[in-house]
């Protein structure tokens, strides 16, 4: 290893914007620092999970009604 290599450590940063909303950023260091807004990622994941559940409800009710005919 050379002495010039930098580790890409992850840091958690919290701050409030102009409208007093709190933000949590995960920042990856290195030559080009990148940040990910954890609140946005969490909210997006919850919306996607809800959408998938909403798509599965009609399928689940169809399977339940078909299972009555099997017995």
| Residue 58, domain member (yes or no) | yes
| Residue 40, domain member (yes or no) | yes
Per residue in 1-57, pLDDT (tens digit) is 444 555 567 888 888 888 888 888 888 877 787 888 888 889 999 999 999 988 888
d(CA 16, CA 32): 24
Contacts of 12 (CB under 8 A, 6+ apart): 24, 25, 26, 27
Q: Is the pTM of this model over 0.85?
A: no
| Residue 24, domain member (yes or no) | yes
d(CA 29, CA 23): 18
Which structural domain range is residue 37 located in? 10-70
Number of structural domains (the chain) is 1
What tokens does 45 get? 């994941």
Query: Quick one: average pLDDT of 56-67?
Result: 73
Q: What pLDDT is attached to residue 3?
A: 47
| Residue 59, domain member (yes or no) | yes
Distances (CA, A) of 13 to 10, 36, 37: 10, 10, 10
């Amino acid at each position: 290893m050379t002495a010039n290599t930098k580790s890409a450590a992850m840091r958690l940063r919290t701050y409030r914007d102009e409208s007093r909303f709190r933000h949590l950023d995960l920042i990856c260091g290195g030559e080009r620092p990148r940040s990910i807004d954890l609140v946005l990622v969490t909210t997006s994941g919850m919306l996607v999970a809800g959408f998938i559940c909403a798509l599965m409800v009609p399928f689940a009710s169809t399977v339940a009604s078909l299972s009555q005919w099997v017995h």
